[in-house]
Amino acid sequence: MTRVGIDALTYYLPASAPTLAELEQRGALRGPASTLAGFGFDRARVAESESHVDMAMRAVRALLDETNTSSDEIDLLLYAGALTSSSTMECAPAPAGAVLQMRDLMDFFKYPVSQLQSELDLANASVAGIDQQGCAAIFSGVRLARATLLAEPDVRTVLCVSADRLPHGTPREVVYNLVSDGACAMLVRRGAARNRIVAMHQVTKGAFWDAGSLENEIIAAYFPTARTVIEDTLRKAGVTLNDIRWVIPHNVSLRSWEILLGLIGCPREKLFSANIARVGHTIAADNFINLRDATDAGLLHPGDLLLLFTFGYGLNWSCMVLEH
Amino acid sequence: MTTSPGPAQRTILVTGGTGTLGRELVARFARSRDASVVVLARGSAHRRPAVLPHGVRVLVSDVRHGSMLGLSETDRAMLRDSVTDIVHCAADTTFNRPLADARATNVTGTEAVLAFAKDCPRLQRLACFSTVYVAGRATGCFTEQDVGGADGFVNSYEQSKAEMEAVVRDAMGELPIAIYRLSTIIGDARSGEVSGFNAIHHALRLLYQGLAPMVPGRESGLVDLIPVDFAADASRYLIEREFIAGATYHLCAGAAKSATLGALLDATMAAFERYRPAWRKRSIARPAIVELETYELFVRSVEEAGNQVLLQATRAVQAFAYQLAYPKVFDARRADGVLAPAGISAPNVLDYYDRIVRWCIETNWGTPA
């Protein structure tokens, strides 16, 4: 079987890291800071001046530098964004008095993925944007990368990038989770030295598309479907939870992970949870930020099986098993 | 001691005669030619409960009002002199009532009925209804001889009923009393009609609305449910034909006729899809069956988050669902030994459950859509 895996990955987080108390003071939380603290959060990462495209470029540049990868080696660039605003450029307002608003119309055709390709000089890369799956977008990026690598022999290296930044002034609390800005980038290749993709699985429940009016139903739907998706992914991978060395989470609340671990019967010790407090939930990059940090911390060993699970609005539940 | 009804006119006094079981029993007793039926019911003296058959006398009463039972001197004296059978169904069956309130009806109210019964010179039978869930947190096999409560209780209803049984047993030396422990009644097996929506129906509604993410218990844990028609047929037979003072009977489905929690959830989801095809589009997942510890963590999180909708939903499920975390089987050997030769037995729950769910959906759980 052809081995496709995540050969290398990096991430970018903004320097600004206000605490819950500071965020509460700024009016950036919906409820009391103490509730979020009780659920395992401590601080968020907030992009003060960087745009989502800036963060994506910084993550990619670091990745290419670290791995001595030439920009010409990239055959396909997949750019994933969770927020609808991440799939567009930041638009300038139309000139005052403009009759046809042509400047606005053309703004709809300005794409971050094209700008990334240009700025990073990825001359050989074709591009595609992936969105409308909330925080599960980057998982779909990896899924498409693997499928392309398996289907098209000419494609050898796929660069998957994800970046999201909440618009200024938006509350940083979503369904009892603390939201951060950030980006991640990874190289997906055939014959990858590590992080072989053993299995992937995604479930979409479009009935919940109107997230704003279905918050309680979404919370209720999250847990049982998460369990089903995780169990189905393990089945696809031909392994059991006992075989999994680490669960690499999306950084939703630690409390919700404790409940989910209880649902799937997984010991708490298998959860790499260090980043939930110090990073918060970076929307679309969590699992890969955590994968990188767990690797750097020396926690992962060759052959370890890792379970990555995430959930995105839409609603989308996504899971993958990697062999480190 | 076995007593049989004499040829003389009997007067059957039914407390709680307008409740789920009470009304079914009254309908059956009212068909007896040799018996007149008097129902004690709360409410207005000027409004006769519509559910009761003609010929049944209704007296406004409240067992919480001491041995006078809230009756006038005249009515009480009339009853005292005529009553041959007391069928005590009146109960507060709300699971999460404060214990003092549950005791007021279930313990103190029963003490009042017992005090009244001691004044009745013609009394031959006093049938006292309880619940198999006096077993409380006990697990394993719970028999008709077991008293229950040693492991504590899941809710105030169970505790107050166990305390009621203790009061009743103390009075058995003076009065001809038998105890009938009922399993959870979910509706009429033949029509699916639900006359009294209880905690399990509320839980079904939450499931329908997609607000029940998990229930505590085990996939293979048995859930004992009975239809009201079986409960009424069985208890009437035991009271009228085979009354044994001092006996305790379990009127339940037992292991053979119960369904597992997993099978019930599957049947519920299938019924939702069958009777409301549009419900499928809502993509509501089957609730996860979880350990009690995980369930309690979820409940605590909802409380800490202060989410009022989910808080109400979890509390509604909590009221009965905690019992699912203490798997048990009810042994009904004594009741079955009497009922089986008479051709009375609980139906398999999965044979009629679908009709109950359908009734809930089509009546919007008893409220206008």
> pTM of the full predicted structure?
0.88
CA dist., res. B137 & res. B154, Å (int): 6
Residues B161 and B35 in one domain: yes
B4 pLDDT more than 50: no
B101 pLDDT more than 80: yes
Q: Where residue B300 falls among pLDDT bands split at 50, 70, 90?
A: very high
Instruction: Say what the pLDDT of residue A42 is.
Output: 96
Q: What is the mean pLDDT of residues A71-84?
A: 93
Q: What is the mean pLDDT of residues B360-364?
A: 95
CB distance from B307 to chain A under 8 Å?
yes
Instruction: Say what the pLDDT of residue A98 is.
Output: 54
Instruction: Say what the pLDDT of residue A186 is.
Output: 98
Task: Determine, for residues A224 and B214 on separate chains, whether the beta-carbon distance falls below 8 Å.
Answer: yes
CATH of the domain at B154: 3.40.50.720
B208 pLDDT more than 60: yes
Tell which wins on pLDDT, B169 or B62: B169
**Residue among B282, B286, B294 whose CB faces A263 most closely:** B294
Q: What is the DSSP secondary-structure string of B18-51?
A: TSHHHHHHHHHHTT-TTEEEEEEE-S-TT---TT
Residues B125 and B206 in one domain: no
Instruction: Say what the pLDDT of residue A181 is.
Output: 96
List the domain range (segments joined by +) for residue B172: 10-191+224-258+328-347
For A315, name the nearest residue in chain B, comparing CA atoms only.
B283
Residues B141 and B270 in one domain: no
Tell which wins on pLDDT, B117 or B316: B117
Residues B183 and B139 in one domain: yes
Residues B43 and B157 in one domain: yes
Three-state secondary structure readout of chain A: CCCEEEEEEEEECCCCCCEHHHHHHCCCCCCCHHHHHHCCCCECCCCCCCCHHHHHHHHHHHHHHHCCCCHHHCCEEEEECCCHHHHCCCCCCCCCCCCCCHHHHHHCCCCHHHHHHHHCCCCCCEEEEECCCHHHHHHHHHHHHHHHHHHCCCCCEEEEEEEECCCCCCCCEECCEEECCEEEEEEEEECCCCCEEEEEEEEECHHHCCHHHCHHHHHHHHHHHHHHHHHHHHHHHCCCHHHEEEEECCCCCHHHHHHHHHHHCCCHHHECCHHHHHHCECCCCHHHHHHHHHHHCCCCCCCCEEEEEEEECCCEEEEEEEEC
Rg of the Cα atoms in chain A: 19
For B282, name the nearest residue in chain A, comparing CA atoms only.
A207
- Residue B24 forms part of a structural domain: yes
- Residue B94 forms part of a structural domain: yes
For an interface test with A, the pick among B218, B266, B307 (most A C-beta atoms closer than 10 Å) comes out as B307
Q: What is the mean pLDDT of residues A224-240?
A: 97
**Phi and psi, residue A300, nearest 5°:** -105, 140
- Residue B2 forms part of a structural domain: no
B304 pLDDT more than 60: yes
Domains identified in chain A and CATH numbers: 4-190 (3.40.47.10), 196-323 (3.40.47.10)
Residues B313 and B179 in one domain: no
Residues B180 and B125 in one domain: yes
B5 pLDDT more than 50: no
A128 pLDDT more than 80: yes
Instruction: Say what the pLDDT of residue B45 is.
Output: 53
Tell which wins on pLDDT, A311 or B49: A311
B56 pLDDT more than 70: yes
Q: Where residue B1 falls among pLDDT bands split at 50, 70, 90?
A: very low
**Residue among B213, B287, B291 whose CB faces A262 most closely:** B291
Instruction: Say what the pLDDT of residue A94 is.
Output: 54
Residues B165 and B150 in one domain: yes
Q: What is the ipTM of this complex?
A: 0.87
Q: Where residue B72 falls among pLDDT bands split at 50, 70, 90?
A: confident
For an interface test with B, the pick among A174, A204, A255 (most B C-beta atoms closer than 10 Å) comes out as A255
Neighbours of A286 (CB within 10 A): 28
pLDDT tens for residues B270-280? Answer: 999 999 999 99
Instruction: Say what the pLDDT of residue A317 is.
Output: 97
Residues B163 and B268 in one domain: no
- Residue B353 forms part of a structural domain: no
Calculate how close chain B gets to A263, using CA atoms only, in Å.
6
CA dist., res. B121 & res. A99, Å (int): 99
For B307, name the nearest residue in chain A, comparing CA atoms only.
A216
Q: What is the mean pLDDT of residues A253-262?
A: 96
For an interface test with B, the pick among A259, A313, A315 (most B C-beta atoms closer than 10 Å) comes out as A259
Residues B229 and B319 in one domain: no
Residues B150 and B139 in one domain: yes
Q: Where residue A156 falls among pLDDT bands split at 50, 70, 90?
A: very high
For B212, name the nearest residue in chain A, comparing CA atoms only.
A220
CB distance from B209 to chain A under 8 Å?
yes
Kindly report the average pLDDT of chain B as a whole number.
91
B321 pLDDT more than 90: no
**B17 contact partners, CB below 8 Å, separation of at least 6:** B23, B25, B26, B37, B39, B40, B41, B49, B52, B56, B58, B89
pLDDT tens for residues A24-55? Answer: 999 999 889 999 999 999 999 999 989 999 99
- Residue B352 forms part of a structural domain: no
Residues B211 and B274 in one domain: yes
Domain count within chain B: 2
Instruction: Say what the pLDDT of residue B3 is.
Output: 47
For B207, name the nearest residue in chain A, comparing CA atoms only.
A220
Q: What is the mean pLDDT of residues A129-136?
A: 92
Which stretches does DSSP call E strand in B199-330? 214-216, 222-223, 225-227, 248-251, 259-260, 288-290, 328-330
Q: What is the mean pLDDT of residues B313-336?
A: 88
pLDDT tens for residues B22-39? Answer: 999 999 999 888 889 999
Q: What is the mean pLDDT of residues A274-296?
A: 95
- Residue B361 forms part of a structural domain: no
Cα–chain center distance at B117? 23
Q: What is the mean pLDDT of residues A267-276?
A: 97
Q: Where residue B369 falls among pLDDT bands split at 50, 70, 90?
A: low
pLDDT tens for residues B135-188? Answer: 999 999 999 999 988 999 999 999 999 999 999 999 999 999 999 999 999 999
B13 pLDDT more than 50: yes
Chain A residues within 8 Å of chain B (Cβ atoms): 31, 35, 38-39, 176, 205-208, 216-217, 219-225, 227-228, 255-256, 258-259, 262-263
**Residue among A38, A216, A223 whose CB faces B288 most closely:** A223
Instruction: Say what the pLDDT of residue B2 is.
Output: 44
Tell which wins on pLDDT, B65 or B225: B225
